[in-house]
Structure formats: C-alpha cells, structure tokens
Structure 1
C-alpha cells in the first residue's frame, strides 16, 4: 500500500453495538437479514477523506443506495487507514465486523485475511453481476487470491472500483521562480533537485514514518528492474536477490539523496498527512506520492499552481487497482453489501469519481471533462497499457509494511548502512517465502 488515508475516526460504542445486536430476536445467519421491527442497517467502513475523489463518489453512492433500498439505513463510519491496517484481523473475527469495507489489497493484507477465512468468496456475485467484465486483467490481479493468499489467481475476495499509481507532484510557481523545467529524464530530475538545494530549498516533501518514503525507495528499485523481477518479488515467481542491482541501487541512492540534501533527515519522523499538508502549504517544490492525493490537492491548494508527471525514466511505477471492497465472512447483511458495491461500479458514480480527481475503472471517457482529471487518467492509461503497474513494495509478506518503514527510516536518519538495511528487509521476506513453501 499503498497510501494516505485521513479523517476522523468514528468509534463504535459498546452501547451502540448492543443496540444494533438487539435489533433481532435471535442471531441471524451470516449474510441474512436480521428479524427486526426497525430498518435494516448496512454497516459500511472506508478511510477516504470527504474532500477526496473516492470520498465524494462514495457519498453519492450511499445516497443512491438508500434511495433504491427503502427501509434500509447506511451506518457509515470513517476509519483511519492505519487503524484498519493494524486491527482488521481482530475486528473481522468478531461480531463487530462491518457488512462491507474498504481494505488494502495484496498478499500481506487481503491475501492474508482470505487465507484465514475472514473474507467472503465473491466469485458467484462477480459472475452474476458482471463485475469481471468491467475490470481489465491487470486490475483483477489484486482482487483474486489463491489458497496461500497470493494474489493474481484463485477466488475473488475483493472488488476494486478505482485505480491508483505513484507520481511526482510539483509546485509550478516554485519551479518558475527557480527557473526549473519539468524533467523528462532521471538525470534532469536530479539536476532539478540540485538547483533547489543550491537555492537553499529542500526539494522533496517526504513522510518517512509511514508509506511515502518506501514508495520513493521502490521507484528507485524499479528504475533498474524489468517485469520478471517484479513478478518474482510480488508473486513469488522466481528468486529475489536483495543484494542485486535493483534494491542495492535503491538503498544506496536514497542514502545519497539524504546526503545531497534532496531529503531532510528529520523526515524520518514525518507522517503521510503532514507530508501532504506541507506540500499544500507551498513549503516544498516536489512530493512523490499517489493519485489518491490528487483530488485533495485539487480541492485544497489555492495559493499556487501545481501539476504532476510520471517518475522520469521509469517504464514501471508503483500502482495497481485501488483498494478493494471486501465483505467480511461475519457480515450480517451480505446481500446489501453486494448491492452497494454494484452501485459504486455504475457509470454515474465512476464518472463522478473521475471528474473529482480519481482514476475510475468503468467510466465513460467522454464524460471526464475536468482538465486535471484528464491528465491524471491519461498518465494512468499510459502506465497500464504499457504493463507498467508494479504494485507496492509492502505487499509480498504479512507485516512487511512495518519492515520497510523501519528500513527506509534507517536510510534517512543514517542509523544503518544501505547493506545493513537490505539484510533487514530480506530476512522477513525470505521467512515468509519459506512459510508458504516457496
């Protein structure tokens, strides 16, 4: 993963849970409506900000769902990305599980929960509702998991309804002020950062305490990688050499970027939200992060012009389908969950998502009229059509997100050498590979 997720965390009180549980006279079967004199309730969790593209689209989907389901109320709770990431297994293994929720895709997250029997097999609904016809093969990769929890094949355990990728955002005003052109090659990219450093400006806003810094690390590795290397690392289709040219270049270059002043040492303690806010505040000329920030930047940046471009020189970038809708095995209203997912796949909702700064998967291209949104989607199309989506570095193994956060923090603050960091991130990966019989 993949990404920044903000917003207030709505906590369910014990009293509220008790009231919900008391709606019926007896415990309903999973997925069956509870006997009740009151309205049925669809319990929905996601972690998109209200001002973001997905937040806007899903708010409209909730309205349409309630309008088309008289007597049903949506109980929406906005969660923090980190909250769900850290506690999903425990929550879904309890009677507090929602009916449908947004969850991170990949072996370490959705794959692990599917292997543990905590997610509903959606394969029959996919065939019934034609969701597979709306999703390209590359976008289906993160929706399917085999018996080992490895993505790309097997049963459907999630439905993505948007796509995402990592790019370079830049402050056009600061580029103009310092006479910096938009770089087209990697050498031009580093030369641009040199120009900012010489002017006393730290080029990159970086969040080392969460996902953003490890995505820069992965982009550097991808600059030396080909598709077979990605398939080996992500899908266990071959042996990965952590001392090979890909990861070695990434570790050594990232450490060098700190020494050159491209990345501030104190960014090791910065969270993703603070990174994004600092860029929106005009403090940094560049931030490397995902398309999930696009809508928020469009809504909140008022004091300068900004743009984006693909990481110069790379044929591949971190990216994939977006996070997926999953239906917990313990969900009490699975039929309603399927209906809600179906609404989020409607062209009307997909078009709204696209015009709000998101990357839709089933929109009408002619309906996307916002210029910035068109640029965003065109760059994604360029990546995806060229087989350029390389997933995210924390996906391969359970707990690998924290391993990479710690490793890249050590590169930024200089507490470990690049070689030591590579050994640190290799060990958990290889242990997981051995556990699954690889």
Structure 2
C-alpha cells in the first residue's frame, strides 16, 4: 500500500485510540524560571480522578529493555517529526527496529511552521502519534501541556539519568506547570539531544583577502563589517522573508548590551519584566544603522533564509549570522568556512539566541509507552551523540564526540562558549503565541527605516503585556 503524503512508508497500520475530551486552548501564561525538580504531575483536570487509568501513564523506572518492548507484541510506533529531522531518523530508525524487531516505526514529517500550527489538533484527534516533536514556549508546548495531550517525562529523566548527563539547568526549557501556564518550573515534558545556537559564520578566503583577523570584540566585528563594505563585499548575507532570521540578528546584538538573564526572564514571563529598556533601544539603533550602511545588502526582506544560506555557501557575503542547524547546508558548498560566537561587547559575555532543539514528547494517548521511551533513550544516548555529530548536528553531550571537520569543531566550541557564559537567551518567539509575527514584523519595519528604535520596542512590549494580562 502506498504511503500517505508526507509520511514515510515504514507501515500504514493504524491503532484505534480514544478521542480526547475537547481541548481548552491556552490564553495566557508566564513564569519565573525556577530550575528545581518538582513532583511529577498528571496532565488533565482533577475531575478525572475517578476515571479509569489513561493510556500513556505507566511509569518508566529504568532504561527500557528489548524484552520489555517485546511484551507489547507486534506494534507500530507512530512519530510526528520536523522535516529537518529526516536525515537523522533515516539513520536511527533502522537501528531502532533492529534493536526492537517487534516495532515498526511510521514517521510523518512536517515543516516547523506546520508543526506549530497543526500539532495540537493532531494530538487531540482520534488517532494521535505516540511521539511528536514540539516547540518550546507558549505557542505550542504550553498549549499541549494545558490540554493534557503530552505526558510528563520526569520518570524518563530519572531512568535515563538526564539530570546528571544533561545538567538540571539545561532541562529548564522543557519544564511546565501541569496547567501549561507557567514556563520553566514544574515537570519535564520534553527532551532534545541537540543544541540549536546562533553564531557567526565566516568565509575564510574573503576574510584573508580583506586582511582581517577573527574579531575578538564586538567593536572588532563592526570594524570588519565596515572594511568589507568599503571593499565592495556584502558584509552580512541575510534573508528575512520569514522574519525569524531578524530575531537571530537582534539576539546576538542585544547580547552586547543586555544581561542574558534579564532577557530570559522576559521571555519566560517574569512579573515586572519589560522589553522597553535602554539596552533594547540601543540594540535596535545598531541594527537600523547596519541596514542604513548597507551591511545586509539589498532585498533581504524578500529573500528566504534558506536561499541566503545557499548563496553564502556558494561564496556570497563575508559573514552570515545563523544557527548551528545550518552547518550541513554551508558545508555542502565545499568552501572554507568557520564559525564563532558573536564576540563580547560591554556585557563581557558571549550571548546569543539559543536552546536545545525541538523537544520530543510522548502522547498521553500512547498505548506503546515502552517503545516510545526506548526511542527517546536511543536518540539521547551517549553512543548516538557521535552519530548526531557525524550528521552535522551539535549534540548536547558534546564531550562524547570526536570530529576532525573544522567548521563543525568551531560550532561545537562556539556553542560551548555561549553555554559556559550562561549566554543562551532562548528564542524571543517563545514569549507569546504571537511574538514571532509581532517582533518579526517590527524588525522589518525597523530595518526599512519606517519606525524609530523606540517605536520598534513599544509594540513588542505591548504584545507581551497583553499576553501576561490574560494569565
């Protein structure tokens, strides 16, 4: 039988699942980041206390064995994954199915935007996947927790020693109160084996031709931009059609002025936090000046991020401010490239938008939880850290890997420097369900010169304040 569109053809067998109760959608929320372990809670209303035990609630007390998975009989593990995971899962699934031969894995891939837009409906339907990748922040993960669609993973955290292997602070971005309204505290609802960190890619040949050394300070970086522009080069290759890339630019520039802890507080909804600060106005001023000086080239608000990366990989531009998830695309260009964290300014810290990758969640309706736990156990294992590195992805467990590829080694080292400085600030769009559109649109207006730096920060804080008022 042919596979459905967007779904890999491992199998098309389906399982009957109970339909969830109507979903109560998230309308507001926020939290102080408290990196302490809380008791595991069960999603859903307390009115269900007398109901029969739901699927997906069995506790995992130790790493799942092949014998335990075999006790499920012949089953299908259904997976919903981001399209960017396809190369990883193409390698992992055959290994998983060899380890657990009674399980057939079925994968459906969706774009990141489609996951954010459609996953809650998919998981609340009558035949949800067992495993699904989510997106940190209120727009998706908070809604999934509030609606009781994904189970806490505190038992897996204990069984697979995530606290020791990852570090408790690293897991904070997957912690939620059980009603999904408080971010950064409560139970763990997801996990990712990879790091997504924003930094600066550079074209080694162009830097050499311009007589430039790697910048050691933010002032050095700005001087390099001016030198490149004066020599007729495009200083920064940039595509901002989908708006998210502009947020990455803002994050690395903001880090030269602002305390990253203050930014994290604002993103996580700490009471009294504000975006309307002198540091953020100064950041907006710098970005607007870069645009006015031609550092981003022409037509960047109409250029897709992937197209900008492809142009950079083909030799256009001196620098590209982008994420570690773009390593493979840049390596594919065959040129000589490097990567460094944005050098520090007044803050003295290496700061950037950064987090773990999209988290893996287990559906509360899954009737194959041991198989799902085994899948997560495999992809987060020490052994798979090296395999992730071989696929061009930066694993959280970077101390476990060995690589001779210079660009990848740069990305691992740069990500480690940011994490060591406590400089990862999460992602601005986690702050509210509409922040990507609000901040992304405001950045386009800022860079086009249609608003002043002060006018730029106002609607962003208004969006945040309105969201917090609904809590």
Scaled by the length of structure 2, the TM-score of the pair is 0.80
- The separation in 2 between residues aligned to 1:350 and 1:166, in whole angstroms, is 20
- The separation in 2 between residues aligned to 1:364 and 1:59, in whole angstroms, is 24
The question of whether the paired residues in 2 share the 8 Å contact of 1:219 and 1:317 is answered with: yes
Corresponding residue for residue 60 of structure 1: 91
**Corresponding position: 1:377 with 2:412:** yes
Once the two structures are superposed, residues 292-312 of structure 1 have per-residue CA deviations (whole angstroms, 9 ceiling, x without a partner) of 1123322x121x211011102
The question of whether the paired residues in 2 share the 8 Å contact of 1:355 and 1:370 is answered with: no
Corresponding residue for residue 138 of structure 1: 169
Corresponding residue for residue 436 of structure 2: 401
The one of 8, 11, 19 equivalent to 2:6 is: 11
The one of 418, 430, 437 equivalent to 2:465 is: 430
Once the two structures are superposed, residues 127-161 of structure 1 have per-residue CA deviations (whole angstroms, 9 ceiling, x without a partner) of 23333332112311112112443332201110121
- The separation in 2 between residues aligned to 1:421 and 1:388, in whole angstroms, is 24
Q: Which moved more, 1:380-389 or 1:329-338?
A: 329-338
Q: What is the DSSP-based 3-state SS (H/G/I as helix, E as strand, rest coil) of the residue aligned with 1:293?
A: helix
The question of whether the paired residues in 1 share the 8 Å contact of 2:218 and 2:256 is answered with: no
Higher helix share: 1
Q: What is the DSSP-based 3-state SS (H/G/I as helix, E as strand, rest coil) of the residue aligned with 2:299?
A: helix
Corresponding residue for residue 375 of structure 2: 340
| CA-CA distance at 1:228 after TM superposition | 4.0
Once the two structures are superposed, residues 311-334 of structure 1 have per-residue CA deviations (whole angstroms, 9 ceiling, x without a partner) of 022512211222211123344533
Q: Which moved more, 1:195-204 or 1:153-162?
A: 195-204
* Distance 1:162-1:98 versus aligned 2 partners, 3 A rule: same
The one of 160, 184, 206 equivalent to 2:238 is: 206
Q: Which moved more, 1:320-329 or 1:156-165?
A: 320-329
**Corresponding position: 1:79 with 2:110:** yes
Corresponding residue for residue 122 of structure 1: 153
The question of whether the paired residues in 2 share the 8 Å contact of 1:162 and 1:361 is answered with: yes
| CA-CA distance at 1:250 after TM superposition | 1.9
Corresponding residue for residue 196 of structure 2: 164
| CA-CA distance at 1:102 after TM superposition | 2.1
The question of whether the paired residues in 1 share the 8 Å contact of 2:97 and 2:105 is answered with: yes
* Distance 1:127-1:317 versus aligned 2 partners, 3 A rule: same
The one of 306, 309, 312 equivalent to 2:337 is: 306
Once the two structures are superposed, residues 27-72 of structure 1 have per-residue CA deviations (whole angstroms, 9 ceiling, x without a partner) of 6974499xxx9952211222254xxxx6544333212210011132
Q: Which moved more, 1:192-201 or 1:422-431?
A: 192-201
The question of whether the paired residues in 2 share the 8 Å contact of 1:178 and 1:196 is answered with: yes
**Corresponding position: 1:318 with 2:353:** yes
Q: What is the DSSP-based 3-state SS (H/G/I as helix, E as strand, rest coil) of the residue aligned with 1:41?
A: strand
- The separation in 2 between residues aligned to 1:277 and 1:262, in whole angstroms, is 18
**Corresponding position: 1:90 with 2:121:** yes
Q: What is the DSSP-based 3-state SS (H/G/I as helix, E as strand, rest coil) of the residue aligned with 1:85?
A: helix
The question of whether the paired residues in 2 share the 8 Å contact of 1:208 and 1:408 is answered with: no
Structure 1 residue runs of 5 or longer lacking an equivalent are: 1-8
* Distance 1:279-1:407 versus aligned 2 partners, 3 A rule: same
The question of whether the paired residues in 2 share the 8 Å contact of 1:231 and 1:238 is answered with: no
The question of whether the paired residues in 1 share the 8 Å contact of 2:239 and 2:307 is answered with: yes
The question of whether the paired residues in 1 share the 8 Å contact of 2:57 and 2:364 is answered with: no
- The separation in 2 between residues aligned to 1:85 and 1:45, in whole angstroms, is 12
- The separation in 2 between residues aligned to 1:435 and 1:360, in whole angstroms, is 37
Scaled by the length of structure 1, the TM-score of the pair is 0.86
**Corresponding position: 1:109 with 2:140:** yes
* Distance 1:332-1:411 versus aligned 2 partners, 3 A rule: farther
Q: Which moved more, 1:138-147 or 1:235-244?
A: 235-244
Aligned counterparts, 1:253-332, within 5 A: 253-298=286-331, 300-302=332-334, 304-313=335-344, 315=349, 316-332=351-367
The one of 199, 210, 216 equivalent to 1:178 is: 210
Number of residue pairs aligned between Structure 1 and Structure 2: 414
Structure 2 residue runs of 5 or longer lacking an equivalent are: 20-53, 59-71
Cα RMSD, aligned residues only: 2.8
**Corresponding position: 1:410 with 2:445:** yes
- The separation in 1 between residues aligned to 2:436 and 2:209, in whole angstroms, is 37
